[in-house]
Structure 1
Amino acid sequence: MKITKSPINRVGTPFIHVKDLQKTSTWYAGLLGKEVPSVNPEHPVHYFELEGGGGLLLDDDRNNAPGTEASIMLHTDNIDEAYGFVKEKGGEIVREIERHPDVSFFNFKDPDGNVLMICEQHENSNRS
């Protein structure tokens, strides 16, 4: 089997899907020894940065269609190259590329139906 260089180069943040973002963020703050956050009701996610460079992302799924909720984020330095690579490898795209000032991403299913996100952070973003 020929090994191809992948544009997907880092494991990023795991997602935890929640029903009540403020309530669950408060609970995780206590679990992780963090200050209780004031969650912005306009945002569907809350990020906890952890020691060692990792983090945890709580997602209330308001922007996710059923079956497109990612369990983990993988990183790339080129979203378009990663998109083509995933398609070439047989990944089923379940959420097309979304482009924002700080991040671009898309979601896909692996052969077992697990949903993953591939994310390209743009220069002015530092979140994992």
Structure 2
Amino acid sequence: MSHHMVCYIEFPARDLEATRTFFTEVFGWEFTKEETTPDYITFHNPGTTGGRGKRCGGGFYQSDKVSTVATGAGVCVIHSECLEETLDAVKKAGGKVVRPIFTYPGGRRFHFSDPSGNEWAVCAQ
């Protein structure tokens, strides 16, 4: 692991199962239920070591709170090879578009909220 690399990120989730289903359908993330922590699930991208391994993974913990730009939270940006296809997949899986596709220095992106109300972004260069 590289020194000072982000290696793990955590988010609140009102409904862990709906969260797992959404991110599996849209992004193909793989999840593990933590046996010792029943209100927590971990995720990683297929083909990576996941969790605290070489690539950034993370977890969702049971909470009624949400992470949004409007409340001052940071936003996690996910890369996509085809922004329009990912946007369609987000909508089909029940995500809500918070900010439609727009151009910014470095590419294009959109923001969406997951089933728990957390805000995310997807970008393409």
TM-score normalized by structure 2?
0.42
Considering only CA atoms, is the larger Rg found in Structure 1 or Structure 2? 1
Q: Normalising to structure 1: TM-score of the pair?
A: 0.41
